[in-house]
Structure 1
Amino acid sequence: MTALPPGTAPGTPAEGVADAESGVAEVAEASVAASGATNTPEGAGEVAEDSAPAAEETDAAGTAEGDTTSEADDSSAEEGAAGGDGDAAGTGDGAAGTEGSAAGTGDGPAEAGDGAGGAGDGSGEGGADAAAGAEAGVAGAEGGTPELSEAQAELAAQRELRARIEARKAEKEGPLAAGAKLSGQAADLLAAVRAVESGEKPGASFFASAPAPRRPAPLPEAPAPVRTQPPRPAPVAAGPEALAAVRAVLSAGSAPDSLAPQVTEALGEQAAEVLRGDPWQLLAVPGVRPEQADGFARALLGAECRPDDPRRAAALVAWILERASVQGHTALPIAAVKAALAERSVPDPDEAVRDAITEGVVLVFQDGEAALDDEPADAEESAEEGEAQESAPVEVLLGLDRYALAEESLADGLARLANAPVKDDGSDWSAAAAAAPSPSAAELIRAVAGSGLVTHSGGEAARAESAAVVTAAHGLGLRAAAAAHTRDGRRRLASAVGAERAFTVAALLSGTEGPGRDEDGALALDVLVVQDAPQLDVEGAAMLVESLPDGCRLVLGGDPEVLGSAGAGRVFADLLAARAVPHVASRTPDPGPIGELVSGIGVGELGQVEAPGKEVVIVPVRDAGEAVHRCVQLVADSVPRALGVPTEQTQVITVGHGGSAGTRALNAALKQRLNPGPGRFGGFDPGDRVAYAEAPGRTSVGTVGSAGPDGLHLDCAGERLVVPKERVESALRHGWALTAHQAAGTRWPAVVAVLPGDAAQGLSRSWVYTAFGRAERHLSVVHGVDQALARAVAEVPAPARTTRLTPLLTALLRTPEAE
């Protein structure tokens, strides 16, 4: 076959497939013009008006600058309900409606997103303004008593499960003992605080402490499962007196009084008093940045406002850790927090961290098995310990209590399932294994027969193996079900196990789908198979595991090479790293040239594959304008004509939302070519393809049908959905082009991957693996990154995440032989 240009992906040359069209040039020019930056200048010292809920989702630049937006933010929360312009380096702004800069990583401007928004706790694109953008979206039909929506039902389930988690933790030794599990010792926070105050010990002795929750900024009532928290119902409205008091304080600090509802929701009814006493608590409001909080504090405090104010330092520590959760971290090394504080002009980061620990703003953990115990009995013992510490340094981690609680609860729940004796129900699992469709499926069935917790890894073909477990268990008379991350994943599961046993994880937790719950509130299941396990974040996984009854068998399966969860944590990877439960690695390869290509990418090799049926096609381009031109041509003409794949079954995937060949530019060009119109329904026309952010981290792709008094009507793969009119602006955007994170968990007959030159810095092996793997029959690569593609596949792994789950699991699931 024809040799490829250096650094390109393998496949069939573009000639003969991407035929030129004279009429596409104008579309490309128009699309490039439409992709201009919409950044709002950063206003130091005042809270920008765009801190309120907006229609854009924040899109971080990652390592690129200007309009070259990578998917660093998408890796945290692809679809938030609101957002604003953000300048972030290495992460999306975890809070919606305002500009953001990631502390400790530098400031690089990034484009505003399209309203798909971020996670409700400040993670992802747009952050927790998902609630504000969705307040009216759960109201139901006009008049009468509205029925519970999926979002409301899911929220109610989350609240119930959260209460159960907290009750279980309280039954043990409370948060102090739980916070010390990593070191294996229950730290006494009060004693540690007194030791520091008396000067007996330095602040570093807080290795395994678990301080009380942060006082002024209560946590959301229902942390998001799978970082896919549905739009929260409108919070209980604060009284008019409380809102008026907050507005007065905001006005006195030169902040827009339109923030009053958000401030009251974040800080409670006493928000006005809290802000007067600590103006930097404004950082607890999603979308507010340190520069803006500093300006607010200067306006309120005048000459008393100082950069070394302990209140400022404590608020910044919490803000830094919230921002870290956007990148998937559940904790950060103490050195990284101190460095970030120094970049924010905190004069004494060491003292700031000690104060934050003492005030209970953060929890402190130790990354490692060793802990600082009492003083050694003699000098010889002290010397021996010193040598041991030099050979095995211990890293101190700081984290927020919400993620600490979730990780520890998840570890407890997984240990409960794994350590429970498998019920002998008389089922003939050996016969079921013998009837399995493949050797790997048989091995997996045998593993499930003997253990309450099993992990399963493999590519797309391996999904049939975990589905075979559900079929086998059902055949044995057990209550079995399977869950996937997306609606498309559920559709594929249903074809394998039956629609009555296939669900989405979010719907299973909310109770809108699934087998129902028993008298104890647990899911009425004997076997649960979860596909797309890499998409589970720590809070969602904790909710799911907590909902399973004792004796239930759980199979967590997925492809470990795909992009990780949109929320904090790396649950599947941490469980695999613990090596404490039975694991089955599929030996079934993904078929065809695309399967061969993607399998090579997974091991860091961008090999050349034979594609006699034009399964893989390379389309070289010189610049972003040509990339848009060729993409439109492929989707509208070349792929349907040459390969027989209809336009509506072809999906465009690109690196980021911004830039001259990001999703916004591509969607503008594709709409103009495929479905031109005035956008009379909130910017959309019947026939438009749209991406609907049902919740942060979970996107459904559908087609606009019509509009009515209740909202915009969508057809998502035959399923009818209604987007309330109040949410159209915040939760919808055009969906001909997506990012790889939005596309995770879904596959299409044909995929056009667009890699413009300005997106090179946003590429990684996991991004390429995920994007290319979304194609079933055909993959076109619009290639303009030269050697960067091969280099990304060979040398750029997925960004690391700092979590605590692996050592927690190792301690809880340690076998007698290991000890």
Structure 2
Amino acid sequence: MSTEPETTEEAEPGAPGADTADGAAEGAEAAAGDATAPSEGGDADDSGGTEASEGAAQVSEAEAELAAQRLERERIERRKAEKQGPIEAGAKLSGKAADLLAAVRAVESGEKPVATAFREPEPTPRRVAQEPVRRPQPTVSPAAAPSAAAPETVEAVRAVLTEGGAPDALAAQVVAALGEGADEQLRVDPWQLLRVAGVRPEQADGFARALLGAECGPNDERRGRALTVWLLEQAALAGHTALDAPALIAALAQRSVPDPDAAVQSTLTEGEALVFQDALDMAAPGQEEGAEEGEERPVRVLVGLERYALAEESLADGLARVMNSVPKEDGSAADWEQAAASAARSAAELIRAVAGHGLVLHTGGDASQAEAAALLGAARGLGLRGWAATHTPGGRDRFTAQPALRDLPDGAEDGVGTGVATVAGLLSGAEGPGRDADGAFDLDLLVVLDAPQLDVETAAVLAESLPDGARLVLSGDPGVLWSAGPGRVFADLLAARACPQVASRTPDPGPIGELVSGVGIGELNQVEAPGKEVVIVPVRDAGEAVHRTVQLVADSVPRAIGIAAEQTQVITPGHGGAAGTRALNAALKERLNPGPGRFGGFDPGDRIAYSPAPGRSVPGHVVKADAEGLHLECAGLPVVVPKERVEQSVRHGWALTAHQAVGSRWPAVVVVLPGDAAQSLTRPWVYTAFGRAERHLSVVHGVEGALQRAVAEAPQKPRTTRLPTLLKAQVPAAG
């Protein structure tokens, strides 16, 4: 591993950001009631562009109209703010309530928000000058967009919000969360405001005090129920499908709920959550495993939201059906053995396992995808309708290029073709074989790549959609970060040992492969990199990290390695902070595509990350903007984002987080490790970030010994799930 000795001028350091941790809120913090950040994979932070001024190009009439509308909206917001009284020093919005347009502008301009209930103490001053402070916003589905709400309903809710001192810009989201009659629901139970993404308990308490007056108190039963549901939702953002009842009760106590047990019981009685009692097989220390005959086994009591409970149970049922059903007749044992005999060792083992089982788990790094491709080729030769599904469009394109698939058709018109789709495209029907008369996928074999990225709800829909007798192969690298959504499906299945598991023996090649393999087992090794495949760039502070990153992407890597800037991806632990994605994207835009950002902070040619749904991030670039919205090209396909959703679902994409990058690879990757990210690093994060590089990896290193400690001592954060227990009740262990 080589170290680049080149020195640079020192840039102004910045204070650690509020959202430097990668991905969802930490599981332990969620159990304590403090996990509030949304899953990073689903983050759709506004990442407004820089104000670098290169001569403005002549705009079209549509662009001029957009600009005029934007100015008019700003004028209206200023007039609203002027009515709110003088600015109070230190007033700030808190948490995710800044996802609202009014709140974002209040933060950026320093104006006082509508209500003191939405105020928090002044944070540590930030000295980042590269980009205006922009608060993250959760991605919303089209159905939840403001345009989906009836105008009269929104106005009624807006009146209630104003009366309670909450930002009236919340109105559309309140209607989306509560439906018709949302205004009356808020008057009857003001804490229902917590149903809106980004609203925190202290803000809902202030809103309730304004509406209820003396009737409002911490012992209100409505408050206890709302906080219980809110904590379960925050746990889901952190990846849990349920919470241990003692942890939930402790979190409620920390939120000043006088009787947490009664709050949980009330929530269960109202049907807003479900309770489960799962038997534990773990014997106490010093005892024989298992309970004596007639002795009661210990149980753990879990509480979870219905949607995730039903998804986990549906997934267990679907997987049990796949495992217990007899695969369709598609060739004799001799035919399968002949196909296995002509494949490489690991691929042959995979083919033999699939020949006799409905569900097979396949583990390995990027190089192991050649084995999955060999399996599809063998299936086609035996007449199966086989399909593969990847997590990202880039992953689909890379897998399609596998030698074993080069001559295979993309469609299934003849009934035996083998194709490759994305998971999202397969489920939506936009890609894949389509569905048969019963609504099941019209296939005999489905190989899901990037399996660790499957959350419990997506996995449940996939399992439910498989026809009887179809085979399912889940393939992926168990060392990468888990899904952005709740659950740890692939890890749970590996731990349950309910079906055959085939581990790849094909190592990832080269110095990068050697480095990543070491990280996977907890070792940060020095590797020989004669072609500068791995370069370490030490930095003193976050400001220098930003400067060196821009230098690497725009100059050093193209000149020394021969990889263009547009083929280089920057990965950093979080969105905020002095060297988070927002600061890095601002600096990279200024160097690589300067412009005024006249389309909501974007200009034609900007690299972007588009989030069509929570947990999904598709890379692309800006083409143009007109009255329809922002025109993008993502994975070779045109996408039009309505202007009211641009701030919520599009961010600049020169720099991404590891959760956004998982499932994709680039010729060159620059991993930025600023000092303020030291506490958020884990082995899976490092493994995922380093593994995104194909030919060259630069590490902008500012965390000193924290990187070594993270690789050696910081495993994946635990998640509470029920899938192993559910599977054990239905399927005997495969051994």
1:491–1:87 Cα change, 3 Å: farther
Which of residues 153, 165, 186 is equivalent to 1:275? 186
Q: Alpha-carbon deviations, 1:90-139, whole Å to 9, x = none? A: xx99987879xxxxxx9997999x99x99xxxxxx64464447856xxxx
CA contact (8 A) 1:58 1:93 kept: no
Say which SS state the counterpart of residue 587 (structure 2) adopts: helix
Alignment pair present for 1:730 and 2:694: no
1:95–1:672 Cα change, 3 Å: closer
1:251–1:678 Cα change, 3 Å: closer
CA contact (8 A) 2:139 2:648 kept: no
CA contact (8 A) 2:16 2:676 kept: no
CA contact (8 A) 1:687 1:703 kept: yes
Separation in 1 of the partners of 2:315 and 2:423? 16
1:757–1:338 Cα change, 3 Å: same
CA contact (8 A) 2:388 2:447 kept: yes
What's the counterpart of residue 14 of structure 1? 4
What's the counterpart of residue 410 of structure 1? 315
What's the counterpart of residue 331 of structure 1? 242
CA contact (8 A) 1:342 1:349 kept: yes
CA contact (8 A) 2:274 2:303 kept: yes
CA contact (8 A) 1:95 1:128 kept: no
Which of residues 470, 488, 491 is equivalent to 1:573? 491
For 1:677-756, what aligned pairs fall within 5 Å after superposition? 677-756=595-674
What's the counterpart of residue 435 of structure 1? 342
Which of residues 72, 75, 79 is equivalent to 2:43? 79
CA contact (8 A) 2:570 2:654 kept: yes
Which of residues 177, 194, 198 is equivalent to 1:266? 177
1:395–1:686 Cα change, 3 Å: same
For 1:122-161, what aligned pairs fall within 5 Å after superposition? 126-127=137-138, 129-131=140-142
Q: Alpha-carbon deviations, 1:266-321, whole Å to 9, x = none? A: 22223233222222122122222211211121122211111111111011100000
1:812–1:779 Cα change, 3 Å: same
Separation in 1 of the partners of 2:588 and 2:598? 17
Say which SS state the counterpart of residue 3 (structure 2) adopts: coil
Q: Alpha-carbon deviations, 1:303-362, whole Å to 9, x = none? A: 111111111101110000000001000000111111111111111112222222222221
Deviation of 1:762 after TM superposition, in Å, equals: 1.0
What is the RMSD computed on CA atoms of the aligned residues? 3.5
Deviation of 1:469 after TM superposition, in Å, equals: 1.5
Q: Alpha-carbon deviations, 1:644-663, whole Å to 9, x = none? A: 11111111111111111111
Separation in 2 of the partners of 1:357 and 1:654? 41
Which of residues 307, 310, 331 is equivalent to 2:218? 307
CA contact (8 A) 2:201 2:227 kept: yes
Which of residues 653, 667, 676 is equivalent to 2:571? 653
CA contact (8 A) 1:93 1:326 kept: no
What's the counterpart of residue 400 of structure 2? 494
Separation in 2 of the partners of 1:791 and 1:540? 34
The aligned amino acid for 2:680 is G
Say which SS state the counterpart of residue 525 (structure 2) adopts: coil
Separation in 1 of the partners of 2:378 and 2:25? 47
TM-score (norm 2): 0.81
Q: Which runs of 5+ in 1 are unaligned?
A: 1-10, 40-56, 66-70, 100-105, 119-124, 136-233, 372-383
Separation in 2 of the partners of 1:355 and 1:83? 41
Say which SS state the counterpart of residue 483 (structure 2) adopts: coil
Separation in 2 of the partners of 1:783 and 1:615? 16
1:442–1:491 Cα change, 3 Å: same
Q: Alpha-carbon deviations, 1:607-637, whole Å to 9, x = none? A: 1111111111111111111111211111111
What's the counterpart of residue 167 of structure 2? 256
Deviation of 1:774 after TM superposition, in Å, equals: 0.2
Separation in 1 of the partners of 2:235 and 2:515? 33
Separation in 1 of the partners of 2:627 and 2:99? 31
Deviation of 1:265 after TM superposition, in Å, equals: 2.4
Deviation of 1:691 after TM superposition, in Å, equals: 1.4
1:585–1:36 Cα change, 3 Å: closer
Separation in 2 of the partners of 1:789 and 1:476? 48
What's the counterpart of residue 464 of structure 1? 370
Say which SS state the counterpart of residue 563 (structure 2) adopts: coil
Alignment pair present for 1:803 and 2:721: yes
1:460–1:109 Cα change, 3 Å: farther
CA contact (8 A) 2:25 2:238 kept: no
What's the counterpart of residue 82 of structure 2? none
Q: Alpha-carbon deviations, 1:228-261, whole Å to 9, x = none? A: xxxxxx54x4472x44543443333223344333
Deviation of 1:729 after TM superposition, in Å, equals: 2.5
Q: Alpha-carbon deviations, 1:780-804, whole Å to 9, x = none? A: 1111111100000000001100000
Separation in 1 of the partners of 2:537 and 2:16? 25
1:345–1:814 Cα change, 3 Å: same
The aligned amino acid for 2:371 is E
What's the counterpart of residue 46 of structure 1? none
Q: Alpha-carbon deviations, 1:672-727, whole Å to 9, x = none? A: 11221112232222222111222222212222233344333334454443333333
Q: Alpha-carbon deviations, 1:548-590, whole Å to 9, x = none? A: 1111111011001100100000011111111001110111111
CA contact (8 A) 2:330 2:384 kept: no
CA contact (8 A) 1:691 1:732 kept: yes
Separation in 2 of the partners of 1:299 and 1:86? 18
Deviation of 1:38 after TM superposition, in Å, equals: 9.7
For 1:298-377, what aligned pairs fall within 5 Å after superposition? 298-369=209-280
Separation in 2 of the partners of 1:60 and 1:457? 25
Separation in 2 of the partners of 1:656 and 1:789? 16
Separation in 2 of the partners of 1:36 and 1:678? 27
What's the counterpart of residue 384 of structure 2? 478
1:73–1:749 Cα change, 3 Å: farther
Deviation of 1:388 after TM superposition, in Å, equals: 5.4
CA contact (8 A) 1:96 1:286 kept: no
The aligned amino acid for 1:743 is A
1:719–1:21 Cα change, 3 Å: farther
TM-score (norm 1): 0.73
Separation in 1 of the partners of 2:498 and 2:182? 46
1:255–1:13 Cα change, 3 Å: closer
Separation in 1 of the partners of 2:608 and 2:275? 43
Q: Alpha-carbon deviations, 1:192-237, whole Å to 9, x = none? A: xxxxxxxxxxxxxxxxxxxxxxxxxxxxxxxxxxxxxxxxxx54x4
What's the counterpart of residue 79 of structure 2? none
Say which SS state the counterpart of residue 607 (structure 1) adopts: coil
1:74–1:621 Cα change, 3 Å: farther
Say which SS state the counterpart of residue 594 (structure 2) adopts: coil
For 1:290-301, what aligned pairs fall within 5 Å after superposition? 290-301=201-212
Separation in 1 of the partners of 2:249 and 2:629? 48
* Number of corresponding residues: 644
The aligned amino acid for 1:487 is P
1:586–1:61 Cα change, 3 Å: closer
- Percent of aligned pairs sharing the same letter: 64
Separation in 2 of the partners of 1:626 and 1:83? 21
Separation in 1 of the partners of 2:347 and 2:23? 41
Q: Alpha-carbon deviations, 1:727-786, whole Å to 9, x = none? A: 333222211111111100000011111111111011000000000000001111111111
The aligned amino acid for 1:449 is A
Say which SS state the counterpart of residue 698 (structure 1) adopts: coil
Separation in 2 of the partners of 1:86 and 1:545? 43
1:365–1:257 Cα change, 3 Å: same
What's the counterpart of residue 420 of structure 1? 325
Q: Which runs of 5+ in 2 are unaligned?
A: 30-34, 49-91, 105-119, 283-290, 412-418
CA contact (8 A) 1:129 1:286 kept: no
1:650–1:363 Cα change, 3 Å: same
1:271–1:706 Cα change, 3 Å: closer
CA contact (8 A) 2:434 2:442 kept: yes
